[in-house]
Amino acid sequence: MKSSRNIRNYFRITANRRRTLPILSVGVVTLVVISAVAAAQSPSAAPTDDKAIRPFHFTASKEALADMRKRIAATRWPDKETVDDQSQGVQLATMQALAKYWATDYDWRKCEAKLNALPQFITQIDGLDIHFIHVRSKHPNALPVIITHGWPGSIIEQMKIIGPLTDPTAYGGKAEDAFDVVIPSLPGYGFSGKPTTTGWDPIRIARTWIVLMKRLGYKRFVAQGGDWGNAVTEQMALLGSPELIGIHTNMPATVPPDIDKAAFAGAPAPSGLSADEKHAYDQLTFFYKHGLGYANEMANRPQTLYAIADSPVGLAAWMCDHDAASQALIARVFDGQKEGLTRDDILDNVTFYWFTNTAISSARLYWESKLAFFAPKNVAIPVAVSAFPDELYQAPRSWTEKAYPKLIHYNKLDKGGHFAAWEQPELFSQELRAAFKSLR
């Protein structure tokens, strides 16, 4: 069991592991696939992969939709927070506005139609069904890229960038900027299988992604990720697969050990920091002090979070409270302001988690991982970094150049946060085009 000093296990996890309890069953949904999807693994036998790639689509049943709305309407609300700001968490007014819209005006079928209009597939790797979107560009010599989401993200997070990346001429780009795009669901997330045994950490997922790209016939490709997606993408690079020629990250691992230690302790900023380094240090200090509660709970006791598997509003609140900047953005959206995200964007993602019943299975990735998120990993292949201002910390160029000796692109942007592809798809797409231009 982890000690209290290991609260930052979102970044460095050193504790003993315990076997988790069985996962909860999927709710009332209809999964429609050309071939049957068998998500379960046999813990007593070595997995034998079915290498077939099966088309997939999803339809939530009317009963599931009605049940969700009923649960939202039946929410038992707590008292209002005793402060006038968000320091105690997601405010009651935000959640009540979210719930009202979710139960009455929100239309899941619109999101479902967008999903089902995309080419989606299931294939089995290492004994587990892996779901992915795969869109090939119409342009010749498109560069294949595998893009990995994090928590509380999903494939919903990257849907806005598929068009700009695969068909750049329709979005102000050039044909030579085109990508073939592969967007998988992490194990335990979305439509991918839910592991029934331990061991599905970012390193194993990285190996799985390389198998996936090779199975799709790609002999040369790049990878992109943020949040858990960064952890997986960096591990792909460290595995040394010659097919992977470069990576891009919007949540890089660059923090020097002495800086990290001081930030976690809440110490005054070390002397000699540049303005950008001091800003990053202040962001880290704030996050370590105020933003690690969700990660600590999921890394230590993910199975205990039954409430977010049972209550749609509970799930939504848990997901909204990932980081202060994202939470503030969501609050503004439900207060009627227009931002990079819409009310439907936010509820598409939460509803996706709800219908796939992945609140607990997704949380287990925190329990599984032993990686230090922000510590440099000695990635030796070409790396591109986009530093968004409202990320958990905006990586300074100085730290980035030391962390990634083969840095091929660095850009410090003036807007965008943790869910950059979702919030700022145009900027994000431009970043990926620039990031990999030298590798084409």
Contact 89, 321 (CB under 8 A): yes
Give the integer Cα–Cα distance in Å for 339 and 423: 8
Write the CB contacts of 244 (distance below 8 Å, at least 6 apart in sequence). Answer: 210, 221, 222, 223, 236, 237, 381
The amino acid at 200:
W
116-122 contacts, C-beta under 8 A, 24 or more apart: 116/57, 116/58, 116/59, 118/159, 118/162, 119/55, 120/55, 120/56, 120/57, 120/191, 121/53, 121/54, 121/55, 121/56, 122/33, 122/35, 122/37, 122/53, 122/54, 122/56, 122/191
Bridging pattern class, strands 383-387 and 221-225: unpaired
Q: Where are the alpha helices (DSSP H) in 117-175?
A: 159-166
Count of alpha carbons within 13 angstroms of residue 33, beta-carbon side: 20
What's the angle, vertex CA 318, arms to CA 325 and CA 394, rounded to 5? 25
- As to burial, measured by CB atoms within 10 angstroms (0-12 exposed, 13-18 middle, 19+ buried), residue 371 is buried
Give the integer Cα–Cα distance in Å for 105 and 101: 5
Element of type H or E holding 433: helix 425-436
Report, as residue numbers or ranges, the catalytic residues: 227, 366, 418
Contact 108, 346 (CB under 8 A): no
Contact 195, 128 (CB under 8 A): yes
Give the integer Cα–Cα distance in Å for 419 and 428: 10
What's the angle, vertex CA 202, arms to CA 384 and CA 347, rounded to 5? 80
Contact 312, 354 (CB under 8 A): yes
